[in-house]
Structure 1
């Protein structure tokens, strides 16, 4: 498989469990990459249910393959043969789109990126949404309006393509509408039933609040970690009524165990009588989790002497303990600890 880092820059809708609705989404991401070297363009189609990758196909391997463990048993060999043929058909169609867009933009040098997002969302109450987006060179390019059965340009240059599609693809627009409103939802329901245990698990977050004061300004950090699914709402409140704005972007990051973490920081100048608390809302919680900042719990030594002096104290204490340890040299001059602290005693 070709080693390439693919960055999706177009809008990516994600189903969340906000307000305990139990929403789910099925998304397919198509990416085409073409460079100015002699290699043929690279194409991939990746399927996701919620934030879990379920399968993948790329032009190097030429086979649709399961990624999620539960998908490896879904449908059997015949299902994956059908998926392979389907992905090959998609790639063939989008390959032609890609060539046309490169021709229109007269793009002959550098990296060219063509992206497609096709997907749908289903709520617990049965309501649904769907979307069909095209991106070119990292920007939204074309959007399909299934209600009006029209392809809408996001840029003036994209109008060349949408005018042609709207004039020539009446049958295709009907098929696209059917795929979005019917076929996508039917497959999403099947995936939800099959992967229910994995897809509907809810792991509540843990929360830790820390602070750092410098020159009268205090930075309050709210660390939220170990939660699943991904969506979480983290807010700092003052006196339980004033929501505080964080200048840092709330970046929700993945953990190696499949859960997520996020840190939200605000800067405040505490006044007498003020209270601060971090409010966390997640579908794994029955109620909003409120963790209060207690300035009294800050280290007295840290507040008294500050970071530089504290670091010197720690270094001095470590040096004193090192000098007190019984040491011994072996015949090669290698120092090791006596007693229970074992060093290397190589004879060679």
Structure 2
């Protein structure tokens, strides 16, 4: 994939004709561009010259010379190409300007940085407990770069309808977060899978969620266990008190 960095220099020239009320503005722009393919394996340097937003002539390190874009730029190209020292300097700039500053661009733009995402699946509480529709949320967070794809599966089949996605959140540590929701019916034994595709992952990351193992089910189970244990404790205590009273009565 080709990546481009460019540095532009704008020079505004204001011409005032002596003794005239007419004023004309001329704009000359010089733009240096570094094109990269596969890192620095292939580097192409362009030195582009514009006049009033129209490109006149440019130097191409791949060709090793200036190339005219207009008739007026042809004179400049012929003059620049006749200056051997200038041509050699432009060729060197492919290394001094582009290759040396590639690492700086990596730091600024985060090129090559990869942070794997964390994935968490949860059930969103429903306003109507009698509703047959439920909302599953796949929270994908802490990843970089921002390009990511999140898919939902139910029992191995991809779900393409009733999918909602939040905007991409930019975290304070230069990572990203996104929420992808699936509205669906549920049956006991279903398996819902959130699948994440990201450049930091060698293979897609998959997180399964089962209705019977949901947080609400776990909470209900925990509540039931606690209730059973407390009930058993009170029952044993009650039986013990009753037995002692009966024993005292017999004596």
Please, what TM-score do these two structures have when normalized by structure 2? 0.48
Larger radius of gyration: 2
Please, what TM-score do these two structures have when normalized by structure 1? 0.36
* Greater strand fraction, Structure 1 or Structure 2: 2
**Which structure would you say has the larger RCO, counting Cα contacts within 8 Å and 6 or more residues apart?**
1
